[in-house]
Amino acid sequence: MTLDIRASRGGFGADLRNSAQVVIAPFQAAVNAVVTPVVSFSDGLSNLAGLREENQRLRDRIESLEREAAQVGHLEAQVSELETLLALRLGEDLYQLSVAAEVTARGGTLDPTLTIDRGTGDGVHTGQPVVDGQGALIGLVSEAGEAGASVIPITSRRAPAVTVRLPDGQRGVVTGQGAGALELSILDATDPVEGGELLVTFGPYGDSNAYPKDLDVGIVAEAADPQFGTIRVRVEPMGDLERLEYVAVVPWPPGPQLLDGEA
């Protein structure tokens, strides 16, 4: 500063200042050569940290949007299934709409019973068949309370047998084998059964009045030929009990109070 003040007046001070600058200039260049990269590196680290934070923020936002999209898709599927259930009419003689219900609990392997949130107060009664959103037979109401009911799946060994009709007109009986399995039995069989054939309820037959006509039951798992006039073959259920969330209880048979001993 003293040199600068004196140099402003000219003379010896100016010459001394110029000489000092000439001497110091190489040291300044060396210092700049060291300091400038350090400053640039520091700035780069600061920018990198900012970019990482922004990248993480964007990742979090993407994950949030993906979760929201999945939830929307799940809700859309539920709405579609409920709309199907609410509009379900099974058979020309069933003018009353089925009762839509939500599955609130599932039993274990030894007790596959389903619990639903509709009961006698909603028109649900013991003995009524239960279907999924596509109209496939799921099971039968085994117990009904005022605000809830228990459903025994047709795959249970305790479920009533289902009389079914094959595409070629043959009649057979489907029984639960436990663990989500079904078996088709045809007595006095004369023709083979092909894999992939759809089995539907035959309707009221003999002493059985549990199921209305033409409910989907299952698909024949494999081809089978009669053995001594009998066919026994595995059947894949149409309804997915593991993922089932909503069902419909069918108002069948007419006058369900007769099943409850109220008349």
First to last CA, the chain: 116
Model-level pTM greater than 0.85?
no
Instruction: Note whether 154 and 181 are same-domain residues.
Output: yes
- Least confident span in 26-35, 126-135, 141-150, 166-175: 26-35
Q: Which of 51, 84, 117 is the C-terminal boundary of a domain?
A: 84
The 10s digit of each residue's pLDDT in 177-205 is: 988 899 999 988 888 999 999 999 987 76
Instruction: Note whether 250 and 223 are same-domain residues.
Output: yes
Q: Which two tokens stand for residue 145?
A: 């309370």
Instruction: Note whether 37 and 165 are same-domain residues.
Output: no
Expressed as residue numbers, the domain containing 45 is 2-84
Asked if 163 and 201 touch (Cβ cutoff 8 Å), the reply is yes
Kindly indicate the confidence band of residue 162, based on its pLDDT and cuts at 50, 70 and 90: very high
Decide if pLDDT at 176 tops 80: yes
Instruction: Note whether 108 and 74 are same-domain residues.
Output: no
Instruction: Note whether 51 and 113 are same-domain residues.
Output: no
Q: What is the dihedral of CA 230, 219, 158, 91, to 10 degrees?
A: -110
Domains: count for the chain:
2
* Overall average pLDDT of the 153-168 stretch: 92
List Cβ neighbours of 238 (8 Å cut-off, separation of 6 or more).
132, 134, 136, 137, 216, 217, 218, 219
Q: What's the whole-number average pLDDT of the chain?
A: 76
The 10s digit of each residue's pLDDT in 49-83 is: 677 788 888 888 887 777 777 666 655 655 555 55
> What is the reported pLDDT for 51?
77
> What is the reported pLDDT for 213?
84
Kindly indicate the confidence band of residue 116, based on its pLDDT and cuts at 50, 70 and 90: very high
